[in-house]
Structures are given as C-alpha cells and as structure tokens.
Amino acid sequence: MSAESLDKLMYSFVVDDVLKGLFISVPPGYVACVYDFGRGVLKKVLTPGLHFKIPFWQQAKLFNVQTLEYSISRQFNLEHERALGDIPIAAVTEDNKRVGAEGTILLRLDIHQVPAIWQTIGEDFVAKIVRPAIRSRIRMVFSRFPFPDIVGARRHEVETELKQELERIFYPRGIFVENVLLGEISQIAGGKEIKE
C-alpha cells in the first residue's frame, strides 16, 4: 500500500468516524436523546440544531415529535410491527353486533418525556404500548354503545369517550392524544362485512 493511499485511508477515517461523530444534527420536528456509555440515557433533550457529542462514547437517537397519524385501515401491512397503524379492529357493540372499525388517531410524543420513553419502553413503543392500548380501548368503548349510535347521531360521543380512555393510558407514558377520528365502521355478519 502506497503512502498516498494510506494517507487517504486515514483522512477518510478521521472525517467519517471522528468529525461526523462529534456532532448530531437535529432537523425541525425532531428531538434527539443521547445515550452515554457511562451515565445511560441522559435526561436532556436536544432540540433542532447542531449539537456536540463525544465520539465513540455517546450515541444519539432521533425521535419525531410532530403529530403522528396512527391509521387503522385495510391497506395497513401488519408485518411491519414498528409501523404506525393497524388493520381494522374487530369489536362487539352493546347490542351484540360484530363490527370492524377503521379510523385515524393523532398522537404526539411529549418532548420532555422522550428520554423516559426510550429508557423504559424503547424504540418499539408502537408495538409494545400504542397498538395494544388502542385495540383494547376501541373494543371497550364500542361495547358501551349500540351499533346505530356508533355510526349515527352519537358518533362524536364515541370519539370523545375513546379519546379520554386513550389519554388515561398514554398521557402518563409521555404520549399525547390530539384527536380520534373514526372512519368506516363495518358490521360483520357471518364472517362477511356489511357496510353502513
């Protein structure tokens, strides 16, 4: 190996591993949390901008703190566990009708609790907390209303009650529920859907 190619190799190592490792660039709509090998996940959240970090000793992880759309629809691919969404949720109404619920839930991470989310839940908080809680709360709330109310005049009440139930679970964990918007509610009869 020639001296010139060795110099290029060393230069690329310095630029890629050391200089890029000194900084973390946080884009708008995101925050970064830092894991320090000596102290664990640091409580300080890095807001948008360029920040210094110790190369090889600290690792940074970006988190989206914009409004996130949790879409419940037939088009969702459940093979992607960490993806934000779900397939239609089966539930039973107060009048014993089986239904499949679609819709959208708008969520947002609390900037100040992101380090705690990363420390206690991890990056896959959707699969661990969000998806199971949404499924459970939709089934519970739908069991309190008859089918005509869910698809008709009291739909807003159903959405409000569902939002309140989700807030009780998510808020202490650092996740805000901005809105619950029910979409198509299909009645399931004998394994076949009846659209209302």
Residue 175: predicted pLDDT: 94
CB contact set of 81 (below 8 Å; sequence gap of 6+): 124, 126, 127
Mean pLDDT of 75-100: 88
Residue 2: predicted pLDDT: 56
Domains of the chain: 3-64 (no CATH), 68-195 (3.30.479.30)
Question: Is 31 a residue whose pLDDT tops 90?
Answer: yes
Question: Is 14 a residue whose pLDDT tops 50?
Answer: no
Strand partners for 104: 71, 181
| Class of residue 5 by CB neighbours under 10 A (exposed 0-12, middle 13-18, buried 19+) | exposed
Question: Is 1 a residue whose pLDDT tops 70?
Answer: no
* Rounded CA separation 43/27 (Å): 19
Q: What is the pLDDT of residues 114-139, one digit of tens each?
A: 999 988 888 888 888 999 999 999 99
Strand partners for 196: none
Q: Report whether 35 contacts 41 (CB < 8 A).
A: yes
| Residue closest to 159 by CA, chosen among 143, 139, 184, 138 | 138
**What are the tokens at 145?**
């209303």
Residue 123: predicted pLDDT: 80
Question: Is 55 a residue whose pLDDT tops 80?
Answer: yes
Mean pLDDT of 84-101: 93
Report the C-alpha dihedral over residues 91, 93, 99, 101, rounded to 10 degrees.
-70
Pair type for strands 68-72 and 85-86 = parallel
